Each structure stands twice: as C-alpha cells, then as structure tokens.
Structure 1
C-alpha cells in the first residue's frame, strides 16, 4: 500500500511533470505527498527565498491539499536518501533527465537508484491520468518478482501489466530448445503463483516468453506496444551485490522511453 509519496524536485519543468504524476498517485491511493528540494548551502538567503516561492507555487498549482514542502541543504543524492528514511516515504518520484548538467543526472541518479530503500518512479511522460498499461521485465530473481508484485499494487484495477521474460539461447540448438520449454513452464508457474498472492482489485496480468537479448527485446516491445510504465528490478538477473545497480535498470533510467518503476 502506498501511504506516503516523496517527490524530489530540482526546479526543472520535468520535475513539475513528476509532481503531477505523484499527485495522481497520491489521490489514487489516498496517500500523503511531500515535495522535497535539496539546495546548495552556498546559496544566498535571497536565492533560497526565490526557490521556496517557486516550489510553493508548484505545490499550490499541482499537489493535493495538505501536501508538505520540505527544503534542506546538502548534496542531492545524500539529501534525498536521508529524507526517504526520515520521512517514512514508501515511494520516491523523480523527473526524467535528458542533459548532463541537470541536478539528478549521471552519477547522482545512479546513487539514488542503487541505494533507495523504497520503489523509485522516474516520470518521463507528460501525462497525469492513471496508468493503464505497463510491461515488467521478469526473470527468476526475487528482485524482479518483487518489482512485478509492487507494480500490481501500484496500478489501478482497470490497468494491465504484461510480464515479459526473455530467454537468451545457448549455441547448441537441441539444448536451447529444451531450456526454452523448461523456462516457459517455470514462468507459467511463477505467474500463476504471483496471481494467487494479488488482491482481487489487482490489474490484469499477462505474460510471455520471448527469445533474444533482453535489452533489444524489451526495447522492441516498448517501441511496438507503447506502455506507459516499465517495471524493473534494480539488479535483476545479474549477480551484482545489493550496493550496485543492474545494467538494465541503469540503461532505462538514463534513457527512459516511458515512466520507469524500479524496485530493489
């Protein structure tokens, strides 16, 4: 259940886009919303006051009544992660970035994503209606399964989520065909078990297994089907430690084709 949403705002227009998405989700779930800005300690008092006025305007224009504004000083990644912990938020929302000079670009976004203890939603679409369609990259990792489950709880009942498992075959054709049959059976069972865990109000859940490379296959699906949301485990099928960010999640966070929902 989403009860408290933290939206980290960096004064860009895409951050207002993220605020609109956070507002939609807050209203859908009856959740509290806190708008956070981390400012440079070197800023003058006048600059801080102008930032506060700008953010207060965004909060008044987009956020539901009762939403809070919080300004702290420090480094962006550390400040955001600290506030996630202290505020008790269960969802962090950021705006997608497209240029290197922006506040949440590059390593700052990576630091937040790899250490964020709650699901992270990167808003890339200029849209604030409820989600209707999502695709989830699914493998046999606990992380990917958790991401699928959390997404099913996030989306409204009238939405649909398509779980996509990509099988990368061996060179030996006979072995590859046997492995493909096995993986299809395992994914069928996994989805069946997951559906039993979901409430009756969960969105429609479908699945398939495709053969190919995970990145290209997922990108092709997104290009064809145009889902509003991409659901990823933060370190999925790789053997990376909890401290690292999986290459698939990292790729789509930096080149978001739609909104991206990342779960550890």
Structure 2
C-alpha cells in the first residue's frame, strides 16, 4: 500500500458561501487556500426563496465579477447561486443545510466563511449549524490575518477531536510555527482525588508529546519541523489558557476541536469555541474527530 503524503491528504474542494454585495473576506481567503494547495474552489450564494430568476442571474454575474477581481490567477472556480429551499424558515440554518447538500455530492476539504458578528446574526446561526451537522473543517476568517499562516495556536483537550486538531494545524499550515496548548483542569479531566497533581501533569505532557509526534508523521513532509513547534501544559480553564496565548503569541490561525469530552466538559469547551469564533483576532478553524 502506498503511503499517503501531506499533499495527497490535502484533497477535495474548498467551499465558501458569500454574497456579492456583502463581505468578501471569506472568498479572498478561500481563493488563497485553493491556490496554495492547488485545490478547486466552489463559491455559493444562497438567496431568499422569493428571489426571481432575473435577480439570481444578476447575482451570479456579480459573483463571477467579484471572484475575477479577488481570486489569484490559476484558481479553478465553480459557482452556484440558488434560492433558499422553502422548507427552511431560518435563513442561517437553511443556508448551512444547503451547503451540506453540496458537500454530499462533492468531495469538500474545508468550508470557509466570514467571521460571524452579533449573538443572533445570520452568520453565527449558519456557523453553529454547520458545526453541529458536519465533520468538515470550518474556517471562519478574520480579515487582518496573514496568509500563508506564519503562527498557529492549537487548543488540545485530549478528547475525541485532539488528533484532528493537531493534524489540521500541521496539514493546513505546513510552513508555520505551531504552538500546542492544553489547559490542565482537574474538573475537566476528572482527575481522581488520589492522583497527585504532579503525576497528572506528567501524564498530560506525555500524552501531548505522543500525539504531536504521531500526527506529524502523517502531516509534515519537511525536515526540521520539531524546531518549529512548542507544547504547553498549563493550569486553568480552556477559555483562560487559550486567551492568554492568543494575547501573547498573536497567531494568524487558531485551531480548536468542535466537541470535547462528554457532559459538563463538553458544555464548557463548546462555549469556549463559540467565544473564540467571535472574538479571536485571527482566523479560527474548528475541526471534529
């Protein structure tokens, strides 16, 4: 059996959803990613169900014009402008569901969206629904982040998404410096009272080291990658620890798992993800195991 290379594992189509009259930051980033990894790009616009055929056609013309001005040369792009299906009363949920319809018939590598703003905004609803309904990586874009990514921060909780988080950080930012951080919280890790804190920290450090080494063998082709990553095990909640590193390191990309452990821990980690999607001053990629 042939061993997969990082390039062969970065396969599929980059999918983005924008409106030609709106914020096109996600379109620009999706084009940059498609160009960097020689992947095709699918650009979709989902409009109100009452939209006429003439308006749909005009929107597609505007979308193609915007893409022609924004996308790097050589990106293979396809377009889809559709009405919101009538069974969806919520526009954000409906758009997410229709994007997933595209993912079912195409090999999608990643979904790239604008960063949502506002607690009950259309964008926030769409991102939340996508994260619940798909295992595809979802990238929310901050216009001030550099690309290619030079600095990557990844939150690792050792739950069922941990390997996917490390893998995505390495795979989609192969030239970056990577910082992997784990928040050591005995409540979240359910450490028994008879296990000493020092022993728990040592186990966490070993788990982090083994995880990074294992995923690096799959995701990193070049030599010298060991010199470009750091691992941190720190006391505190995931929200506090990640926030400290965001402030100290100012990365271009934050990678988090979409779901943590079950029960109480999952609720905390889910809230943490939602917070950073909205507030982190960088691109945020959410992945699931």
2:19 to 10, 21, 40: 10
* Cα offset, 1:236, TM superposition: 2.2
Matched, 1:188 2:209: yes
The SS at the match of 1:90 is strand
The SS at the match of 1:222 is helix
Q: Which moved more, 1:56-65 or 1:166-175?
A: 166-175
**Could you state the TM-score of these two structures normalised by the residue count of structure 2?**
0.80
The SS at the match of 2:123 is coil
* Cα offset, 1:138, TM superposition: 0.7
2:176 to 156, 159, 170: 159
**Could you state the TM-score of these two structures normalised by the residue count of structure 1?**
0.87
- Structure 2 contact 166–212 (Cα < 8 Å) conserved: no
Structure 1 residues 159-238: aligned runs within 5 Å: 159-169=176-186, 175-201=196-222, 204-238=228-262
Residue correspondences, number: 258
1:146 to 151, 154, 164: 164
Task: Give the aligned partner of residue 23 of structure 1.
Answer: 31
Q: Distance in 1 between matches of 2:198 and 2:235?
A: 10
Over residues 92-119 of structure 1, what are the superposed CA-to-partner deviations in whole Å (9 max), with x where a residue is unaligned? 10011213575322x3321112212311
The SS at the match of 1:145 is helix
Over residues 20-48 of structure 1, what are the superposed CA-to-partner deviations in whole Å (9 max), with x where a residue is unaligned? 11111111100001111111111233432
- Structure 1 contact 96–256 (Cα < 8 Å) conserved: no
The SS at the match of 1:194 is helix
1:61 to 66, 69, 73: 69
- Structure 2 contact 144–282 (Cα < 8 Å) conserved: no
Matched, 1:260 2:284: yes
The SS at the match of 1:36 is strand
Q: Distance in 2 between matches of 1:250 and 1:136?
A: 15
- Two-structure CA RMSD over aligned residues (Å): 2.6
Task: Give the aligned partner of residue 80 of structure 1.
Answer: 99
Q: Distance in 1 between matches of 2:117 and 2:253?
A: 18
The SS at the match of 1:163 is strand
- Long gaps (5+) in structure 1: none
Cα 1:221–1:127 change in 2 (3 A) is closer
Q: Distance in 1 between matches of 2:273 and 2:101?
A: 22
- Structure 1 contact 164–209 (Cα < 8 Å) conserved: yes
Q: Distance in 2 between matches of 1:146 and 1:101?
A: 29
The SS at the match of 2:212 is helix
- Long gaps (5+) in structure 2: 1-9, 85-93
The SS at the match of 1:206 is strand
